Every structure is written in C-alpha cells, then in structure tokens.
Structure 1
Amino acid sequence: MVARQAGIGIFGGTFDPIHYGHLRAAEEFGETLGLSEVRLIPTGAPPHRGGPVASPAHRLAMAQLAVEGNPRLKVDDREIRRDTLCYTIDTLHELRAELGETPLAWLIGADSFYRLSSWRRWRELFDLAMLAVACRPGFDLDAWRDHADPELLAEVLPRIQPLTIPATVERGTIALLPTTPLALSATAIRQRLADHRSARYLAPAAVLDYAERHLLYRP
C-alpha cells in the first residue's frame, strides 16, 4: 500500500494586519486536509482591491510574528518581492515548478469563490491545485447557483467533491471546508488602533505590539 503524500496549503491575503480569523482558518485548513504545511503569502500589490495600508515589509513582519510557535504555518515572501501586480495564477505556476507533483491546495474565501470568473486566467487554476473554499455557517451552495455566472457554474460544479477525513488533495477538485465563524476584520482592527482603542485578543499580541511600535494604523 502506497502512503498518501501530505500536501502543501497556500493561503494568500493582504494580512493588513493578520489576525486570529486568518490564523484559525489556516489551522483548520491544514488540519482538515492533513497538510504538512500551510504557507501564508502576503500579497504585494493586489489587483482586485485598493492598496494595503501598511507597507509590504511591515505586513510580512507581522505575519512572521503571528505564526511563531506553530510548526505547520509558514510565511512565504514571494509576492512581497515582486515589483508588479500579484496574480494567483503566477504564484501557483511558480510553486508548481518548485514542488513538482507535491499535492497543492489553495484556500479561498467563499466571497472570492463567487467572483472566481473575474480572476486572471481562472480556468488554469484548476490545472495547478485543489481549490479549498472556506465556508462559514450559512453558506448555501443552492442559493448561489440561482445567481452565479453560468460559465463559472459549468466549470466548478462538476469539480466539487464530498469532503472526507482524511481528505485527498487532488488538483482540479474543489472542497467546501466548514470553518469556525470568527467575526473579525482587518478593517475593524485598523480602525480600533486609529481610534486608540484596544484590539487585544483580536490578533496576536506580538502583531498588535508591532503595529503600535511602528505607528502603522495611526491617523
């Protein structure tokens, strides 16, 4: 019997700042899919949203502080080092070239999953990795079907696989991952820091101390 090769997880975001919602999602992602590691990849210049408030170097430093002590979570700085817009397709191509046939799973939020057809070369994503969709309680695939882009529906619905434990990470498939609901947002944390209010227990203390020390979110 051939042993199942553990996969590597990819979780990108602005992480401005990284908080417990991000970290809990990464932890459950790795645990549910039996991943050997989960790489958090802070984006440099995201194409789908306005620029982050904190600089790439600061966001990278906060992410590194946040994962200290967790051997499964790693921080990958490849997008921070780019001097062009950061597209997921480029990052996955780079990782596939480096990792060969190692199983690769890419974590994406349900909101982004709904808009997947707006992503650059989105169909190619399935050639490179498994897509894991983080679904909060209340996620309703049937309701989404009624309003989704028909072109996207035709591509993704046949790829959705029942979630088994331990799961098999197979490129081209989609897994819907239930996640613990934590109503946290980086926007709210930035606002609290700007208003000189406490953000303790919303993000790791080391992250908040770093943000305060460097006055990252002060007006």
Structure 2
Amino acid sequence: MLGGTFDPVHLGHLRSAVELHEALALDRVHMIPAAMPPLRGEPWVPPETRLALLEAGIGDTPGLVADPRELRRDGPSYSADTLAALRRDYGREARLVMALGHDAFLRLADWRSPQRLFELAHLVVIDRPDHEAPLSAALAELIQGREVDSVESLMQRPAGGLLRLRLPTRMAISATAVRRRLASGASVRYLLPEAVEARIRRDGLYRQR
C-alpha cells in the first residue's frame, strides 16, 4: 500500500512505487488516493479527479494498481481502516506492507491507532539520505523492537516489522511545487507523466483558486 493525496500524481510518486515493487518483490503496489487526509489540508482537486489522474499516470505499468477504496468510504481516510480492508481481501497469512515517506514516519505516533498499523501490516519507511531527525519519545516507543535490517527478515511474518529502505532513485519532486508551476503557467514537462499533464491541461486543473 502506498497512499497519499496524489495532488497531482507525479513521476516521483510513480518511480518510488516501481522501485518498491522491485525491491520488496511485491505482487502488486496499491496506490491509494486519500479522500479526506486527516493530518493535511483539503486537496486542490476532487478525489475522483485525482484518481483519474493516477490511473492515467500508471497506464499499463506492471504491478501498479490505482485503488479507489478510500474514495468509497465516508469520513476521514484512516490508514488503519484501509489496511484492515486489504487484510480482509488477502487473508491472514499474506504479507502486507504499508510504505510511507520519512516525513510522514516522523508523525506516525500522531496517527489514529498507530499500534494497529503494525498488527495489520509491515511498515517500510522510504529513507531520505539527506534527512536526519531525532525520533520523538512516542515514536521511539511505538517502533521499539520492530525494526529489521533486510527485506528477507521483514517478510518472515505477515505483519509487525519496520524496515528503512533507501530507494535507488529519489526524485526531488514536490506536488506543492508542481501545483505552483501549473498555477503560474510554468512548464511541468518531465515532472509529470505526459498523460497526466495532458489531462490537467485539457481540464484546466490547478489554476489559481
């Protein structure tokens, strides 16, 4: 599971998903747009539009799936609820993984039911080699005894582990910066998949509010 607002989906999101698929030898990566992210502001465009852009960006990429399940639930998009739904789909013995970026990881103790996340899945933190920050006491307690140092160790159980993973390609693309460029009319070529850029231009998305 790789969640986010995807507002809009960009090449950094998609390249990370491809590299997660390869590095962890996953059957598939569910890319799941959040309808109402609890700890972030309201996205710029409606959920169904972000899903359509994600589908356009993924295209026929093997192993990547645009998953609309959070858009079909009422209320805020809590990751624990999404993982519970995936666990029901795949069964008790399936090895489930939730991937998140380092910045989101540092706020993990503030999420709803963070302990339940580990009951349902492994967590993989996409490390940033240029970013070091001390863990809060609450976060350190939450992950105590869970961290492993290899994919092989992580995958020995269906859930409960934590792995820090440094992906081969870390594309420094920010959705915030992409939105600013779109709003100002600046070029976003090679920041977005061509199909996503074409859809945004066609529908006049991400203009100034």
Q: TM-score with structure 2 length normalisation?
A: 0.93
3-state SS of 1:80 partner: helix
Alpha carbons of structure 1 residues 169 and 112: separation in structure 2 relative to 1, 3 Å: farther
Of 74-83 and 40-49, the range deviating more from structure 2: 74-83
What's 1:46 paired with?
37
C-alpha distance in 2 between matches for 1:167 and 1:123: 17
3-state SS of 1:79 partner: helix
Does residue 1:173 correspond to 2:165, yes or no?
A: no
Compute the displacement of 1:164 (Å): 4.1
Compute the displacement of 1:169 (Å): 6.1
Q: Percent identity?
A: 42
Q: How does 1:48-127 map to 2 (within 5 A)?
A: 48-100=39-91, 101-127=93-119
Does residue 1:28 correspond to 2:15, yes or no?
A: no
C-alpha distance in 2 between matches for 1:64 and 1:18: 9
C-alpha distance in 2 between matches for 1:166 and 1:185: 32
C-alpha distance in 1 between matches for 2:23 and 2:121: 16
Displaced runs of 4 or more, over 6 A: none
Does residue 1:157 correspond to 2:144, yes or no?
A: yes
Alpha carbons of structure 1 residues 132 and 111: separation in structure 2 relative to 1, 3 Å: same
Tell me if the contact between 2:16 and 2:170 (Cα under 8 Å) persists in the aligned partners.
no
CA RMSD of aligned residues (A): 1.5
C-alpha distance in 2 between matches for 1:139 and 1:163: 21
Instruction: Output the amino acid matched with 1:195.
Output: S
3-state SS of 2:117 partner: helix
Gaps of 5+ in 1: 1-9
What's 2:184 paired with?
195
Q: TM-score with structure 1 length normalisation?
A: 0.89
Instruction: Output the amino acid matched with 2:102.
Output: A
Tell me if the contact between 2:109 and 2:142 (Cα under 8 Å) persists in the aligned partners.
no
Of 152-161 and 113-122, the range deviating more from structure 2: 152-161
C-alpha distance in 2 between matches for 1:188 and 1:138: 19
